[in-house]
């Protein structure tokens, strides 16, 4: 195939004497040996062939000395037996300057400035240079500078951090007729000099009352605004009484320490902590420990706060942390929340976080937080370096089912009800979640449950239980009603949290007694009447005489034992035979008859 036209043909110079032209070869001609493509360069203004040797690898190039010539018209010709193609580049040499890379970099520096120097080979050419600075966080900054020197150039980089490594490199281009940047110089890593630590340490404390005074555990960490600014750092802790101006006590620690414990009496104390490097100290961070006027978990209250016991409030966790809110008070200039990353361990890895005066809520998160662990938080208000406990919070990142289920300690049975008691069941911090209440499950042994007032609950084996819910965790007694007498039941009590409850495994079993009221009714309705009938049959004559006596005949009465006077067959008593006390006649008809 005939050769392709040379692509991307262009020429440039580093010193305005030696010109280098480059181009791309094009596609394969499938001709080899003496028939392969041949390249020649010619200068049209001088009508001369360019005296250079072409070399090709990824690109083809050719370099030669143009002497004092400034305007060039260069043509490259490629030909083989099947054809010929050309490409042309017309240029002013002063517009095609491609400087050599800067070399031999060195620097002078202070704690916040670096002056970087370098040399270049382009003598007599005014260059425009660019310095690339890589910050410690990986951010890249570019700084421009003009280079009017013959042998070296420089740039001053300011506003840097003390005792910090920066990486710099330089490239340059022609200042008057910019063509392209040179290659980068070698990168140079430079460290600024040390300076006094900047900012303050973030400090906190835990106060434990002891006999005759208090133990104060001090903690410190480097706040985001703090910089060590030096090779090595140490810490100095100083404490003194506020009232009497006694001589301060102090102690120093190496950089590996971040806490210490000091013992003080019940007076008010001023405690300060400073960081120190080879240059000087940082500004002091100060805490005021007030005079002992009350008691609490780990702080002593200021007089305007009060000493009443604070109630612990439950808070909720989320996927991102535990949400804490508090009531803001205008008297404080900041707030502090502290907590333990590992509340079951000693030391518990106390952590704290500071917030501004206009903040009243925070999402507390930590890589140490795990589900099922209860974390306690304390919210402090701080003013004039004095902190006072304001609120207590407690919560879980995520609640899990309870570790322990209630153990039924007392069972009271009747023929149709059972009362269960679990008074000693703990609802405190030993659980994997807040105990929200209880579920009582009941079922007859050989059949599904359907008691009045319950909800159905199906367990994995397919059995249907009756479910009762107690929503008060402090109510540890429950009566299940509407049971059948003389029946065997299985029961279980489960505590539940927001994370649910553990699977039902173990039941307790009860037998309801026989219904005695039914026995009494049977006695009253069957046995008593039967017994009465038997007695009546056995004493029939006596019963008959008691209940149905024989009416006596008047003729057998002693009243009629007088001299007989008969009217017809009836004996008649003459009035003259007795002297009555009183005589009453009921009606005139009878009187007439008599």
The H or E element containing residue 281 is none
Residue identified by tokens 């004559």 is 541
pLDDT more than 90, % of the chain: 61
**DSSP state at residue 6:** P
Phi, psi of 487 (to 5 degrees): -130, 145
Cα separations in angstroms, 551 against 307, 449, 540, 544, 554: 99, 68, 18, 12, 9
**pLDDT for the residue 303:** 33
**DSSP state at residue 521:** H
- Residues whose CB falls within 8 Å of the CB of residue 476, separated by 6 or more in sequence, listed in order: 406, 421, 422, 423, 425, 438
- Residues whose CB falls within 8 Å of the CB of residue 448, separated by 6 or more in sequence, listed in order: 463, 464
Query: How sure is the predictor about 151, in pLDDT bands with cuts at 50, 70 and 90?
Result: confident
Mean pLDDT (whole number) for 296-306: 39
The CB density around residue 183, as the number of other CB atoms within 10 Å, is 11
Q: Quick one: how many helices (H) and strands (E) in the chain?
A: 4, 40
Q: Return d(Cα 54, Cα 23) in angstroms, integer.
A: 11
Out of 105-119, 364-378, 530-544, pick the least confident.
530-544
Rg (CA), the chain: 56
Query: How sure is the predictor about 446, in pLDDT bands with cuts at 50, 70 and 90?
Result: confident
* Token pair in block for residue 196: 């006094």
The domains of the chain, with CATH numbers, are 7-95 (2.60.40.10), 103-191 (2.60.40.10), 201-289 (2.60.40.10), 312-396 (2.60.40.10), 408-512 (2.60.40.10)
**pLDDT for the residue 591:** 52
Beta strands, E only, 424-487: 437-444, 455-458, 464-470, 477-480
Mean pLDDT (whole number) for 403-422: 91
Query: How sure is the predictor about 298, in pLDDT bands with cuts at 50, 70 and 90?
Result: very low
pTM of this prediction exceeds 0.85: no
User: Is the CB of residue 379 less than 8 Å from the CB of residue 355?
Assistant: no
Q: What share of the chain is helix, strand, coil (3-state, %, to 5)?
A: 10, 45, 50
Residue 159 pLDDT greater than 90, yes or no:
yes
């Amino acid at each position: 195939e005939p050769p392709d036209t040379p692509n991307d043909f262009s020429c440039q110079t580093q010193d305005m004497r030696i010109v280098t032209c480059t181009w791309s070869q094009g596609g394969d001609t499938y001709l080899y040996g003496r028939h392969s493509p041949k390249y020649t360069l010619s200068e049209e203004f001088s009508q001369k062939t360019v005296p250079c040797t072409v070399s090709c690898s990824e690109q083809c190039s050719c370099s030669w000395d143009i002497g004092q010539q400034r305007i060039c018209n260069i043509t490259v010709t490629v030909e083989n037996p099947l054809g010929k193609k050309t490409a042309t580049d017309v240029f002013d040499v002063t517009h095609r300057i491609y400087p050599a890379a800067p070399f031999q970099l060195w620097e002078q520096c202070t704690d916040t400035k670096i002056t970087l120097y370098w040399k270049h080979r382009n003598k007599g050419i005014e260059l425009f240079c660019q310095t690339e600075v890589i910050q410690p966080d990986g951010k890249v900054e570019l700084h421009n500078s003009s280079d009017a020197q013959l042998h070296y150039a420089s740039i001053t980089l300011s506003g840097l951090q003390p005792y910090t490594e920066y990486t710099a490199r330089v490239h340059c281009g022609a200042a008057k007729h910019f063509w392209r940047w040179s290659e980068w110089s070698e990168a140079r890593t430079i460290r600024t000099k040390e300076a006094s630590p900047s900012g303050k340490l973030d400090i906190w404390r835990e106060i434990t009352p002891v006999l005759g005074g208090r133990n104060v555990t001090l903690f410190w960490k480097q706040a985001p605004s703090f910089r060590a600014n030096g090779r090595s750092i140490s810490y100095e802790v100083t404490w003194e009484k506020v009232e009497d101006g006694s001589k301060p006590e102090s102690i120093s620690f190496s950089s590996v320490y971040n806490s210490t414990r000091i013992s003080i009496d019940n007076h008010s104390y001023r405690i300060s902590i400073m960081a120190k490097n080879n240059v000087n100290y940082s500004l002091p961070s100060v805490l005021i420990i007030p005079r002992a006027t009350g008691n609490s978990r780990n702080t002593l209250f200021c007089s305007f706060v009060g000493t009443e016991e604070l109630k612990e409030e439950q808070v909720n966790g989320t996927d991102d942390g535990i949400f804490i809110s508090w009531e803001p008070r205008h008297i404080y200039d900041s707030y502090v929340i502290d907590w333990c990353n590992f509340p079951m361990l000693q030391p518990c890895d106390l952590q704290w976080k500071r917030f501004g005066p206009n903040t009243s809520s925070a999402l507390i998160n930590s890589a140490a937080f795990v589900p099922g662990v209860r974390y306690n938080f304390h919210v402090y208000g701080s003013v004039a370096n004095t902190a006072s406990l304001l609120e207590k919070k407690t919560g879980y990142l995520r609640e899990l089912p309870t570790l322990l289920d209630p153990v039924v300690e007392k069972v009271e049975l009747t023929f149709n009800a059972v009362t269960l008691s679990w008074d000693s069941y703990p609802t405190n911090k030993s659980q994997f979640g807040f105990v929200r209440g209880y579920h009582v499950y009941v079922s007859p042994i050989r059949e599904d449950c359907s008691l009045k007032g319950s909800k159905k609950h199906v367990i994995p084996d397919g059995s249907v239980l009756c479910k009762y819910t107690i929503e008060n965790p402090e109510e540890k007694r429950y009566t299940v009603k509407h049971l059948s007498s003389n029946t065997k039941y299985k029961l279980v009590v489960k505590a539940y949290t927001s994370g649910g409850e553990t699977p039902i495994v173990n039941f307790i079993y009860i037998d309801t007694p026989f219904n005695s009221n039914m026995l009494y009714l049977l006695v009253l309705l069957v046995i008593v009447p039967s017994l009465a009938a038997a007695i009546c049959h056995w004493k029939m004559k006596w019963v008959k005489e008691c209940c149905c006596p024989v009416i006596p005949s008047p003729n057998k009465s002693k009243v009629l034992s007088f001299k007989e006077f008969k009217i017809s067959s009836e004996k008649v008593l003459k009035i003259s035979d007795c002297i009555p006390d009183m005589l009453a006649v009921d009606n005139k008809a009878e009187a007439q008859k008599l």
